[in-house]
Structures are given as C-alpha cells and as structure tokens.
Chain A
Amino acid sequence: DQQVKQNSPSLSVQEGRISILNCDYTNSMFDYFLWYKKYPAEGPTFLISISSIKDKNEDGRFTVFLNKSAKHLSLHIVPSQPGDSAVYFCAASAISDYKLSFGAGTTVTVRA
C-alpha cells in the first residue's frame, strides 16, 4: 500500500519561475516529512524537512508547506534554476521507527 503519493510524475517550468511539487499521505502516524532530490545513478540528497508541529519551513529558495488536516504537503522552489532539474521525492516517517516511506517521485525539468 502506497502511504505517500506524488500524483504528478513530471513538471516542466521556465527558469526563474516557481516550481510547486505536491505530495499526499494516508498514514496519520507520520510526524516528520522530507523532500529529497535525486540525480541519475546517485543516492537521494536531502533538501528540506518539516515536523508535524509546524506548517511551514523555509531554507533559501526552498519552502515546504504542511497541511495536516488535508494530509498534504508541497515544496516550492523559487526561483527555479537549471540545476534544479532532477527527480524529487517526498518522504515521511513516524517517531516509532523513523523508517522513510517515499512517494514515486516527480521529475522536474527547468527550461532556459
């Protein structure tokens, strides 16, 4: 059962514009949420995270928003840069074991 879902397999955005990636989850026990970026043939790279007690976390160009009632989170990248072209994974964990459950990923392409 897929507990974390990324329903958009791909996103194309123009350089300088905002990229918005969405993620939904079903497990109410999740209390920590993360975004990872992945290039081909490499391991996922941690980007940004948010605890369930917060609704927003910002780090430079990256902002993550959490809507617990809707079981939904999003990642905003502003402004988008060509180097942001990669696969982005949403992940979630529970305090019981901290193992990560991942979505299927969204491929972001930033056009010049």
Chain B
Amino acid sequence: DTGVSQDPRHKITKRGQNVTFRCDPISEHNRLYWYRQTLGQGPEFLTYFQNEAQLEKSRLLSDRFSAERPKGSFSTLEIQRTEQGDSAMYLCAIPGGDSYNEQFFGPGTRLTVL
C-alpha cells in the first residue's frame, strides 16, 4: 500500500469525449504530482501542486488538460475532447515523510481512447 489511491483504474472512452481521473492520498502531504506513462517509456512529469496551488505545468499538458486540488488533499485531472494520443497510464504521486525527495505512486489510471 503506497498510501495513494486512484480512480478509476481503467477507463475506455471514445475520441472526443471528456474524462476525469481522481487521486486520493491516504496521508496528507502538501505536494502532489501527476505523471503520464506511455508504452515503452518511463513516466513523464505533467504537473504538481503545493497545497491547492498548481505550481508548474509541463508543455505536455495541452489546453485540453486541466488539473485541480481544491482542498489541498485529493486531486482531479480532466482531459477534454480526448484524442487517441492521450492513451496512457496516468500516475499520481506524493512525497513520503518529511522529505520531498522520494515519491510514492498510486496504482495509476489506464486510459484507452478508441
């Protein structure tokens, strides 16, 4: 148990539809990170939050992507007008303990866009 749950675990959608993923850290931490992993690649950074504030967005995050962390605990990632290129594993991570150095990942949400 990494202390992070993600919902749903799998999502199949048709191109053009909107999808929303949720990340729930079991323990509180002021930092929360989102990553995306495509087949054959390592995870790539998307964005991160310090409490409610979104501090950085990767250039991978087009205007169709939006992320929120309204109460500084759980976070949501929404993709509007999905494209086949959005098919990937979306991962959420929080630091462990008092250090930001080591991040612990949730199980991920596997998105398939048909």
Contact = CB atoms under 8 A, between A and B. Distances in A.
Contacts of B2: 43, 45
Contacts of A43: 2, 4, 6, 91, 93, 105-108
A97 interface: yes
Contacts of A36: 105
Interface residues of B, number: 29
Interface in A80-108: 89, 91, 93, 97-105
A73 interface: no
A33 B96 CA distance: 15
Interface residues of A, number: 25
B48 interface: yes
Interface in B43-98: 43-45, 48, 55-56, 91, 93, 95-96
A104 B48 contact: no
Contact of A45 (B31, B40, B44, B105): B105
Nearest to B105: A43
A102 B42 contact: yes
Given A93-B101, A102-B43, A104-B41, A42 B107 contact: yes
B43 A100 contact: yes
A34 interface: yes
A10 B44 CA distance: 20
Nearest to B56: A97
Contacts of B13: none
Interface of A: 4, 6, 32, 34, 36, 41-46, 49, 51, 89, 91, 93, 97-105
